[in-house]
Amino acid sequence: MDLAYTPEQQAFREEIRTWLAANVPAEPLKSFDTAEGFQQHREWEAKLNEGRWGMVTWPEALGGRGADLIQWLIFEEEYWRAGAPLRVNQNGIFLLGPTLMEYGTDEQKADILPKMANGTEVWAQGWSEPGAGSDMAAIRSKAELSDCGEYYIVNGQKTWSTRAVWADQCFGMFRTDPNSQRHHGLTFILVPLNLEGITVRPIPQLDGLPGFAEIFFDNVKVPVNRRLGGEGEGWKVAMATAGFERGLMLRSPARFQETARRLVNLYKENREAADRDPSVKEAVIRAYMDAEAYTLTTYQTACRLTQGGKIGPESSTNKIFWSELDQRMHETAMSILGARAELLPHAPAAQGVGNWLDGFLFAQSGPIYAGTNEIQRNIIAERMLGMPRK
Amino acid sequence: MDFTFNEDQLLFQEEVKKFLVNEVTPELIRELWESESGRSGALWSQLVELGLTGMTVPEAYGGLGMNEVDFVLLAQECGFVALPEPLVEQVLVAVPLINSLPEAFRAEWLPRIAAGEAKVLVGLEQNQLVADAHYADLLLLQQGNELHAVTPGQVKLIFNESVDPSRKLFAVEWTPSATTRIAEDAAELIEAALNRGALGAAAQALGLTQRMIELSVQYTADRQQFGVAIGTFQAVKHRMANVAVPLEYAKAVVHRAAHSVAIGHKNAAVHVSHAKIAACDASLTGAKNSIQVHGAMGYTWEVDLHIFMKKAWALNNTWGDSAFHKNRVASFVLGEADNAGAGRTFL
Ligand SMILES: Cc1cc2nc3c(=O)[nH]c(=O)nc-3n(C[C@H](O)[C@H](O)[C@H](O)COP(=O)(O)OP(=O)(O)OC[C@H]3O[C@@H](n4cnc5c(N)ncnc54)[C@H](O)[C@@H]3O)c2cc1C
């Protein structure tokens, strides 16, 4: 055990720090859930890619840096410290990208990955359906192979698809075998969102902005070369994506450490008011401790994995830990802000409340998306602890 | 950056675990509850034979010269079996303390510890009572900022019964004098000893929590109600998941604290306090949820759960109670300096 960074790791940190200092926009970008903000974030992805900082974990041949998990953690620390923009193409870079590298044909990789990397194509994820939320295997949207065998004819509906309002592409699972049940007979298909027969209906989220959307498919013709993996193998391919999603990449510890830092500062600046509620101080130091615990645990796992270890069902604890931490931290900020907590940022009396309210609203979704925390607890009990299913 | 244990450390853990699980059974623990001293000389001799009691004694004095990182996984396993012998306290607290005292004192005691001929334990004012004082050949006792070394003949012990029948606590009456004094201005040594004690308690709390989970998972697989194993009920599953999560996120915190103590990190005290809070909290949740899924069985003396539950309750407030440790973290985080935020964890 040696908890010091190597000179190479330190140099890597310096390099990204310097680049970010020179390139992070001085003015925060508009929300990527607006047309203008989406475009700004797309341009930011292009800039990151120019500096080869967009996909640090991708292989060098694909425009990445072949960064290992420790370097990735360092990158994220610097990225969040610098207050750099959120990643509009998170779904592509961290979920679909690695899945494509594992299951894609050479042609698919050559066609899709570069455009994903430079922000030309932003990806949405289409798994959920009105009847298939936690029960993802209940997917009913169909894809039927055409008689000529050249394309799938897709019909059905996806929902809650993040970024889909302005995204260019969507990856999803569709039922190719009409007689199949549950997770059999599903196929992973990559659908350009500009195809005829597609209707995207924006859904406003709690903040009123259309952060996700419903996607309707009406006899949409998708070329067969847009199938990822074999027909009927969709579940297996999707689980690889879910593995990445549940794993380390979705939410890096740095994000929560920075929220904890801002919370500590908010407390220090409003100490007198905050201490009127005696539980606030404890909540603040807990936020710090839990963000550190998430970081330490992630580093320990990352070190184990880089030395050839495997990630097991204990990774299901990850989603619960960060999402509930995020909720608690924002609740604490609301307590400190007191009567001003409910004010929207542009309200005249909202001076100094920062973007805590936005964060508070978004924190409510953490325990829901990417597999609800109830589902995660089921997985922990059954697969990690070995409790009986039936 | 390497946050893993090496192969030797993992192998040693496996071996020691096997030994402890075989020897330190709930039956043995219950037998010792009935005995006068509550301790087993035979078991201690076995620990000596395995080299465990002298692990942290420097090689020059006949020990294995190992450090806190080498021992922390073993301390977890001591918790897993609720080991009654004061192994963790000697290895993690007494030996390093002796090792920072003058050479003559070291030369007198460390070889005897390494050879298994002497047991030395430490009594700090934070703990009020001294655990296993009846079992020690030498006690190192705090008196304000001083440390004193006293032998069994120099003390009067008054037994105080603990909720955990395995714990043997004593008020120690003695007369401090120039001849018993071994260190003046010893505040730093005393704090270091407290940190090591807290680290040992935290590591044991991890093992205790793991054991309570395993007992509960087994019990809920066997026990049937409404025609099915109660472990199939989601309310029962989620109770156990709610123990697994904090346990999973306390481990690395404890391991980092061990590393910080071993290298003398400038923030070792804060890291230890964090570890103590995280691990003990996990064990308290472990106790609460485990007794609940056991139903009335969990509320009995007969079922083994309470062996582990009671130790967890007791450890929570030893080597600094939760107020002490929370305040240490608070002064670090809420003070002048900017100590929170990304990229600062390993500074
Ligand atoms: C901000 C946000 C972004 C999202 N982005 C995407 C996206 O990009 N692509 C996409 O495909 N989906 C996305 N989702 C959808 C998300 O994956 C689903 O919301 C989630 O899987 C839960 O499904 P549901 O909403 O239908 O809830 P339901 O499944 O109806 O669950 C409702 C409640 O019942 C509980 N419940 C259900 N089943 C069980 C069970 N077996 N045991 C215990 N409790 C149970 C749940 O835990 C939950 O509390 C997003 C959701 C949110 C909030």
Q: Sketch out chain A's domains with CATH numbers.
A: 7-88 (1.10.540.10), 123-236 (2.40.110.10), 251-384 (1.20.140.10)
Q: State the complex-level ipTM.
A: 0.97
Neighbours of B4 (CB within 10 A): 17
pLDDT in tens, A157-173: 999 999 999 999 999 99
Q: Is the CB of A364 under 6 A from ligand 1?
A: no
CB contact under 8 Å between B340 and A321, yes or no, is no
CATH class held by domain B188-335? mainly alpha
Looking at residue A251, its pLDDT comes to 85
Q: Are A23 and A47 in contact (CB under 8 A)?
A: yes
Distance CA A377, CA A386 (A): 12
Average pLDDT of the residues in A289-294: 98
Distance CA A226, CA B204 (A): 54
Is residue B293 scored above 80 in pLDDT?
yes
pLDDT in tens, A240-279: 766 544 456 778 999 999 999 999 999 999 999 999 999 9
Mean pLDDT, chain A, integer? 94
pLDDT in tens, A319-374: 999 999 999 999 999 999 999 999 998 899 998 888 999 999 999 999 999 899 99
Which of B145, B148, B142 shows the shortest CA–CA distance to B127? B142
pLDDT category at A62 given cuts 50, 70, 90 is confident
B231: contact with A, CB 8 A cutoff: yes
Looking at residue A250, its pLDDT comes to 75
At residue A230's C-alpha, the angle toward residues A229 and A232, to 5°, is 120
pLDDT in tens, A115-146: 999 999 999 999 999 999 999 999 999 999 99
pLDDT category at A316 given cuts 50, 70, 90 is confident
Q: Is the CB of A160 under 6 A from ligand 1?
A: yes
The percentage of residues in chain B with a pLDDT greater than 70, rounded to a whole number, is: 100
Tell me, rounded to whole angstroms, the distance of Cα B253 from its chain centroid. 15
pLDDT category at B319 given cuts 50, 70, 90 is very high
Distance CA A149, CA B164 (A): 73
In chain B, where the domains are located: 188-335
Which of A187, A268, A201 shows the shortest CA–CA distance to A230? A187
From chain B, the residues in CB contact with A380 under 8 A are 240-241, 244-245
Residue B116, burial from CB neighbour count under 10 angstroms (0-12, 13-18, 19+):
middle
Q: Write down the pTM of the prediction.
A: 0.97
Which among A63-72, A312-321, B283-292 has the top mean pLDDT?
B283-292
What would the DSSP string read from start to end of B162-205? -SSTT-EEEEEE----TTTEEESS-HHHHHHHHHHHHHHHHHHH
Looking at residue A243, its pLDDT comes to 59
CB contact under 8 Å between A261 and B341, yes or no, is yes
Average pLDDT of the residues in B239-256: 98
Ligand 1 atom closest to residue A128's alpha carbon, by position in its atom list:
11
Distance CA A12, CA A66 (A): 12
Q: Is the CB of A212 under 6 A from ligand 1?
A: yes
To the nearest whole Å, the CA of B31 is away from the closest chain A CA by 31
What would the DSSP string read from start to end of A182-193? TTTTEEEEEEET
Where in B78-180 does DSSP place strands (E)?
120-123, 130-131, 138-143, 146-150, 156-161, 168-173
Scanning A349-378 for CB atoms below 8 A from B yields 374, 376-378
